[in-house]
Amino acid sequence: MVKVTGGQRLDIFGIKKEDLPAVWADRNAAGMVSGHAYAKALRTVKTCVGSNWCRFGTQDSTGLGIKTEQMTWGSFMPHKFKIAVSGCPRNCAEVGLEYIKKRIVEDVEGRVALTARFHFSQRFMQDDPWAKRAAGEDYKLHQHLAEIRPLAAPALVAA
Ligand code: SF4
């Protein structure tokens, strides 16, 4: 089953474990990074359709979402973390804005310091573990642990 998520991701289900590295390799070759589905990390940058497609849209929320995700993927956090971008105050991408506004919009010094720290950390963090595995690292992780076969019947020995 393939499911397109609200965060513009493709959930692909039912792939055999041993086939995953080849799937990751195909996706990397197509220019996609596998999502950190269960990680304490940035999971996704969700967007509404924005000014390209919505009559209420005043901004290109999808474009900003793409840029934001390209900048932030691979950032690990104390908890799962999602960002969302809406194209107008109707807020279809659903963000709790008040705290963010206080820390990011109103506190300019704090914003500059946080931005510098974040960009510095990203220099070391944008490291795609699925691409590494697709290229051969830890290849045994996705093999069967054992091959189970029926035991051969013992040879009969004449008395
Ligand atoms: S937040 Fe909703 S109404 Fe506003 S641009 Fe996005 S989709 Fe349209």
Q: What residues does each domain of the chain span? A: 2-134
> What is the C-alpha to C-alpha distance for residues 11 and 26, in angstroms, rounded to an integer?
15
Ligand 1 proximity of 49 Cβ (cutoff 6 Å):
yes
Crossing angle between the packed helical segments 61-72 and 108-125, to the nearest 10 degrees: 60
Measured in Å, residue 29 CA sits from the centre of ligand 1 at: 33
Q: What is the whole-number distance in angstroms between the Cα of residue 126 and the centre of ligand 1?
A: 30
| Tokens of residue 40, six digits | 């304490």
Residues 12, 97: Cα–Cα separation, whole Å: 32
User: Above 70 in pLDDT, residue 159?
Assistant: no
What totals of helices (H) and strands (E) does the chain contain, helices first? 5, 4
Q: How far is the CA of 133 from the centre of ligand 1 (A)?
A: 39
Ligand 1 and 111: CB distance under 6 A: no
Q: Check: CB of residue 47 under 8 Å from CB of residue 84.
A: yes
pLDDT, position 96 = 67
pLDDT digits (tens, 9 = 90+) for 29-85: 998 888 777 788 888 899 999 999 999 999 999 999 999 988 888 888 888 888 899
For ligand 1, is residue 48 a contact (CB within 6 Å)?
yes
Q: Is the dihedral of CA 144, 145, 148, 154 positive or negative?
A: positive
pLDDT exceeds 90 at position 88: yes
Alpha-carbon 29 to chain mean position: 16
| 88 C-beta closer than 6 A to ligand 1 | yes
Q: Per residue in 90-123, pLDDT tens?
A: 989 888 678 878 888 899 999 999 999 999 988 9
In the reported structure, the alpha carbon of residue 65 is separated from the centroid of ligand 1 by a whole-number distance in angstroms of 13
The pLDDT of residue 32: 85
Q: Which residue minimizes the CA distance to atom 5 of ligand 1?
A: 57
Residue with tokens 């506190």, as numbered in its chain: 107
Q: How far is the CA of 49 from the centre of ligand 1 (A)?
A: 7
Residue with the bigger pLDDT between 159 and 43: it is 43
Task: Give the pLDDT score at 100.
Answer: 79
For the residues 126-151, what does the mean pLDDT come to? Answer: 78
DSSP type of residue 91: -
